[in-house]
Amino acid sequence: MSVTSRIRSLLDPTTQRGFFAVRDQGIVSGTSFLTAIILGRSDVTELGIYYLVISLVIFGRDIQARLTTVPYAVFFSRQHDRLASYSGNTWVFQVFYAVLIVLGLVVFLVVNPGAPTLLPLIQILMLAVPLLLMHDFIRHFAFARQQLGLAILIDALILVLQVGGLFILYRLQLLSAVTAYMVIAGACG
């Protein structure tokens, strides 16, 4: 393969979209990595609590992906005549799913009244989890619509807000799993 054909292949729109997707995933993974470093330097126990909660969030994202984002990405290109209706229904379902998650957290609090130490964390998760899921949904929505620059812009903004906020709390010695999720909710909101 000649140098000219290699350069052309790099300029191909499909290849460019791939580069955008990898760049965006690097931003998201970097945000997660930096969050873990900052929280781990603050308190290892709080890092453990953070990871326990984030594993539940990832489980919720997986359900969301199976119910909304993956089907949306697959059927988006096939629904030209009903695109607005299909997109609107997907957004309505996403809001319904977020409300369902919050209700699940409320039920957890009602069923476990003897867990007062978890109360602040559960309360902030009632705000943070729907916002995290909405961020993930918007990101996949942008990918499905080939709006890769928008996804990168949103994720870069979240990187700056989240890592910056966590670093400030770390420097002020106010960082915990609860305050970390407050910052994450603020960055995603």
| Whether 73 contacts 64, CB under 8 Å | no
What the block records as the tokens of 13 is 């729109």
The whole-angstrom separation of Cα 155 and Cα 25 is 9
Q: pTM for the whole thing?
A: 0.83
Local structure of residue 66 (DSSP, 8 states): I
pLDDT at 8: 56
pLDDT at 164: 97
- pLDDT one-digit tens code per residue, 96-133: 999 999 999 899 888 887 777 778 888 899 999 999 99
- pLDDT one-digit tens code per residue, 38-97: 999 999 999 999 999 999 899 999 998 888 888 887 777 776 677 777 788 888 999 999
Q: Looking at per-residue confidence, does 147 or 34 come out higher?
A: 34
The whole-angstrom separation of Cα 112 and Cα 109 is 5
CA dihedral 20, 24, 27, 32 (to 10 degrees): -150
pLDDT at 116: 73
Q: Looking at per-residue confidence, does 168 or 3 come out higher?
A: 168
Sign (positive/negative) of CA torsion 77, 129, 63, 34?
A: positive
Assign 3-state DSSP to the chain and report helix, strand, coil percentages, each to 5. Answer: 90, 0, 10
3 band by pLDDT with thresholds 50, 70 and 90: low
The whole-angstrom separation of Cα 21 and Cα 111 is 42
The whole-angstrom separation of Cα 141 and Cα 91 is 10
- pLDDT one-digit tens code per residue, 138-185: 998 888 888 888 999 999 999 999 999 999 999 999 999 999 999 999
| Whether 177 contacts 117, CB under 8 Å | no
pLDDT at 73: 79
What the block records as the tokens of 110 is 């009602």
The whole-angstrom separation of Cα 122 and Cα 108 is 9
pLDDT at 87: 81
pLDDT at 1: 62
